[in-house]
Amino acid sequence: MTSTTIDAGVLGTGFYVPERILTNFDLEKMVDTSDEWIVERTGIHERHISAKDVPASELAYQAAVRALADAHTKPEEVDLIICATLTGDAVCPSTASFIQDKLGAVNAAAFDLAAACSGFVYSSTVAAQFIKTGTYRRVLVIGVEVLSKFLDWEDRNTCVLFGDGAGAAVYGPVEKGFGILGFDLGSDGSGTGALGIASGDRGRALVEGQKQNCVYMNGAEVFKFAVRAMGATMKRSLERAGMEPKDVDWLVPHQANIRIIQSAAKRLALPLEKVIINIGKYGNVPAASIPMALAEAAGEGRFRKGDIVVLAGFGAGLTWASCIMRWAKEDL
């Protein structure tokens, strides 16, 4: 007796960022830094900042509405909502539950997934498993962050890096041989002290003197990990998909640092014209970074049906994740 699995891929995408823009020149007035210093080391020129009274779920809702419209999917047709975030509305209930209610996705299960900047790729692979088994037909995956609420605005090493925003994708059944073809997920828990938010019993204890509920980061350690992890995870995903770097048409990397992005592209021998880069406009928007870049590129018509697209990221945990997909959406 043979079993048949269903291939799962992206049916639609959308993203949303708050209106307020904080430039490097604005930051020069707040902390001891400069536009030149930030751009040279990170590639960031500006980032979007959410209003204090606007929660993550509102940004996520806006991105979700756009993704559902792009996928020609009604809220009541959604079977599951997965929200990847570090900065949700509450510890409990899940941010996904708030999103479900606002969308009117009355038939959807909903939960959050915490894997930091790797969260969207983690969530996408989870969505694919539900679809492959035939359990669900429409899964809404959202990455959202309002990290500005968790920054020490006196710490020039972290406050210049991050921004707020949300990206979403609707996953569903696609043609055989399309969608997610291979993936790789991982974590090195020994690196928990390198990057995170100083909250909770363990988080507060990891970094002595760190302001409570604020981001902490050992930049040098994270950079070394990221360069190593990005190359390794993409290689494993390609092997599992039965592909080689030369088969890749597009790379959509986590937008953390332009030098890390350039290193990832070099590993694939991919020209930067084939790498989706929007870090200059948005900064690092942890779990939302990859879906925002994916949605922006898709909206610009960059992808063609059949293109091989690689998603790859890394984050606190220390986590890493990548997946290989054959783009299934028709360019309408």
Catalytic residues: 117, 254, 284
Report whether 147 contacts 288 (CB < 8 A).
no
Going 199 to 200 to 205 to 206, the CA torsion angle's sign is: negative
Phi, psi for 286 (deg, rounded to 5):
-20, -90
Task: Give the distance, in angstroms, between the CA of residue 229 and the centroid of all CA atoms in the same chain.
Answer: 16
Interatomic CA distance for residues 279 and 10, integer angstroms = 23
Report whether 174 contacts 312 (CB < 8 A).
no
Report whether 165 contacts 144 (CB < 8 A).
yes
Cα–Cα separations (whole angstroms), residue 208 to 92, 216, 282, 286: 27, 10, 30, 24
